[in-house]
Amino acid sequence: MVLVIPKKLNKGDTIGIVSPSAGLGPIFPHRIEQAEKNLTKLGYKIKYAENSLKNLGYVSAPAEERANDLHEMFLDKEVKAIVCTIGGDHSNQILKYLDFDLIRNHSKIFMGYSDITVLHLAIAKKSNLRTYYGPCIISEFGEYPEILPYTLKYFKKALSSVNKIGEIPQSDSWTWEFLDWAEKKDQTRARALIPTKGYEWWRPGKSKGQIFGGCVPAINHLAGTEYWVDLTEKIMFIDIPESEPGKKFPVALLDSFLADLDNLGVFQTIKGLIIGRPYFYEDGDNVKLKKIIDYYTHDFDYPILFNANIGHVSPIITLPLGAEVLLDSENNKFAILESGVSE
């Protein structure tokens, strides 16, 4: 799958903000303010799309208006990168309103994670544009008192340099602590970090391939649609979200979504599997998850890496979709073998 590679993000450039799914900006304005403070300190300018700071119940705005925000930001010559405020559950509502030719013809960085998976895969399929599974405004960029260093390092490596990204070591520490945003407890102290145990290889092996994937269940929204990306011969990654802030995604429910992917033939055709650190999964949950993954993949010999810094548990990398990656269990190596952006 050949994708257009967006141009790099430079200091002084403008970042456009959109909310294609949930509308949490007006509910947690201090997170928006903190993100703007963090990003302007790094030398970036901020520009908000018309509906990016609105709320209409469980979404930011009507679907067509959310789609128009993306068009606005892709068309805006001042904007060099587009970043989502947060995920949610309803990015799929805007697909039928998107002008994928417009997006292709005005290529630039587009980034977010979780439910934004839907847009990443659709844009790859319909616009042939590389997008980036990475930090959002309210969550990672709104971190107090500053963006976590590992998150910032790989944001810059992926988006601000044309050098090969290279090896991605596991972060030294991580956190899933949730300090209640509604009570602004997140503004009282930094979240507590836990020392990492490092990568876990649930199956040994070595493999190279283009990386695609995203958040379960957002991936599944596209099954059987024109927006589905064929994962044959790809390295797939899976991000396991929270069910709600501070609560894990039930293992039994996750199993049902993985069964969907199995029925689609995904596990039979991929070349490798990466599983991001699951949100609020304790050791017992991980044991159950490992058994489930083994059930769907036991007939295959591709490598399976668990505990990557991808998705809902902080810190996270910025992952260029469609980039060639390497999985090598013998050398405990996960590497991105190309640059994330172009000059």
Catalytic positions are: 114, 244, 312
Nearest residue to 321 via CA among 118, 152, 163, 35: 118
Q: Which amino acid is at 144?
A: Y
- How far apart are the C-alpha atoms of 225 and 313, rounded to whole Å? 29
Q: Is 129 helix (H, G, I), strand (E, B) or coil?
A: strand
- How far apart are the C-alpha atoms of 206 and 62, rounded to whole Å? 45
- How far apart are the C-alpha atoms of 147 and 166, rounded to whole Å? 22
Which residues lie closer than 8 Å to 237 by C-beta, 6 or more apart?
Answer: 133, 211, 212, 213, 214, 273, 274, 275, 276, 308, 310, 319
- How far apart are the C-alpha atoms of 113 and 87, rounded to whole Å? 6
User: What is the DSSP track for 55-80?
Assistant: -BTTBSS-HHHHHHHHHHHHH-TTEE
